[in-house]
Amino acid sequence: MTYHAADDRYAKAQFRRAGTSGLDFPALSFGLWQKFGTDHPYEKNRATVLRAFDLGITHFDNADRYGPPHRAAQQFFGRVLRQDLAPYRDELILTTKAGNPIGASPYLKGGSRKSLLGSLDHSLRDLGTDYVDIFYSHSPDPTTPLEETVGALVSAVQQGKTLYVGISNYPTDRAHEAAQLLRRAGVPLLVHQPRYSLFDRRPEENGLLDLAAADGFGLVVYSPLAQGLLTGKYLDGIPAGARAENSAFLSPDAIDDDYRRRASALNKIAEARGQSLAQLALQWVLRRPEVTSAIVGASSAEQLEHNVQALSFAPLTAEELALIDEALT
């Protein structure tokens, strides 16, 4: 069937400015990190992506590494773009990343100019587009001068292959150095993509939130639901077929008594607000003005719709935030 985007897709959508730039992001972004490889059904994933756009989600986050196999998630999205979303390309923020290993070759990993720009060219072919909106250095490479990595990002902008640049998983001091180098080159750092959730508060502890405000870049945070630990799915153990059974990113060992104690306490706070644990967790990361957007994945349109409903609840009060801090101790 021919796809036509919902006419009311922006009626309730919420957008937030990325740092001191002029670019707005949806409060919730859609990530293709997991479950968008060739081992998952195309039509179901296509329906979820299209539902995301109908709900006003315009940012779709990808990387050369996402699959399996590597690059499969980009190829999946390229097919959806060609088949359905091409008429709306100007309404989309499409991103990709390079630098994490995707093969044995020394040119398929790291922050060298050859690795980053070669991957970007391949990603553009995967996606079937002339440019991406944001090109990221996926992780810092201590074996490559930061000047070279930053120079490759600058070249990508100068060549018209990306509109903006970002970094991901960079420690605070290196993020500041990258931001300074990019500013001197006339290509400001748009966004940093760190992990951030109720169970991983490192951006608060390592000064990254403060740095984002000082250096003028936004934070697009990933794993706000801690790989499903903040969905309520594991409150009573590990259900059959759950991610913790076979995921490289979530060990069954994480589902211990301490986890259940903390998650149960948070769930009670959520229930008192009339929402789910997942909705509480998303509201919590978005409470910070430095956070431009939170990336969510979804294995179904229904799951996505549930997460988007988090944006409709009243802001967390100071008393509720104190109760959350107490539950995490």
Domain positions in the chain: 15-226+286-314
What does DSSP assign to residue 317? P
Tokens representing residue 145 in the block: 């001068």
Residue with tokens 């120079």: 151
Q: What is the mean pLDDT of residues 300-327?
A: 97
Q: How far apart are CA 246 and CA 259, in angstroms?
A: 19
Number of Cβ within 10 Å of residue 322's Cβ equals 10
Q: How far is CA 257 from CA 64, 226, 253, in A?
A: 37, 17, 10
The b/e string for 267-289 (b: 16+ C-beta within 10 A; e otherwise) is: bebbeeeebbbbbbbbbbbbebe
51-80 pLDDT, tens digit per residue, is 999 999 999 999 999 999 999 999 999 999
Q: How far apart are CA 101 and CA 30, in angstroms?
A: 23
273 touches 215 (CB < 8 A) = no
CA neighbor of 29 nearest in space, from 193, 235, 190, 185: 193
What does DSSP assign to residue 245? G
Q: Is-above-0.85 flag for pTM? A: yes
236-292 pLDDT, tens digit per residue, is 766 655 665 455 666 677 788 899 999 999 999 999 999 999 999 999 999 999 999
Number of Cβ within 10 Å of residue 291's Cβ equals 23
66: region left, alpha or beta (phi > 0 left; psi from -120 to 50 alpha): beta
Q: How far apart are CA 114 and CA 149, in angstroms?
A: 10
Amino acid (1-letter code) at residue 319: E
- What was the pLDDT predicted at 238? 65
Please, what is the angle between helix 72-80 and helix 42-54, to 10°? 60
Q: Which residues contact 159 (CB under 8 A, 6 or more apart)?
A: none
CA atoms lying within 13 Å on the CB side of residue 161? 22
Tokens representing residue 69 in the block: 């196999």
Q: How far apart are CA 202 and CA 41, in angstroms?
A: 35
1-16 pLDDT, tens digit per residue, is 799 999 999 999 999 9
277-310 pLDDT, tens digit per residue, is 999 999 999 999 999 999 999 989 999 999 999 9
From the number of C-beta atoms within 10 Å of its C-beta (0-12, 13-18, 19+), residue 131 rates as middle
Going by DSSP bridges, is the β-strand pair 15-17/24-26 parallel, antiparallel, or unpaired?
Answer: antiparallel
The b/e string for 224-238 (b: 16+ C-beta within 10 A; e otherwise) is: bbbbbbbbbbbeeee
CA neighbor of 169 nearest in space, from 144, 202, 199: 202
Cα 3 to the center of its chain, rounded Å = 25
Q: How far apart are CA 149 and CA 175, in angstroms?
A: 12
CATH number for the domain running over 15-226+286-314: 3.20.20.100
% pLDDT > 70, the chain: 95
Please, what is the angle between helix 113-127 and helix 72-80, to 10°? 40
223-236 pLDDT, tens digit per residue, is 999 999 999 888 87
Model confidence band, residue 317 (pLDDT cutoffs 50, 70, 90): very high
Model confidence band, residue 120 (pLDDT cutoffs 50, 70, 90): very high
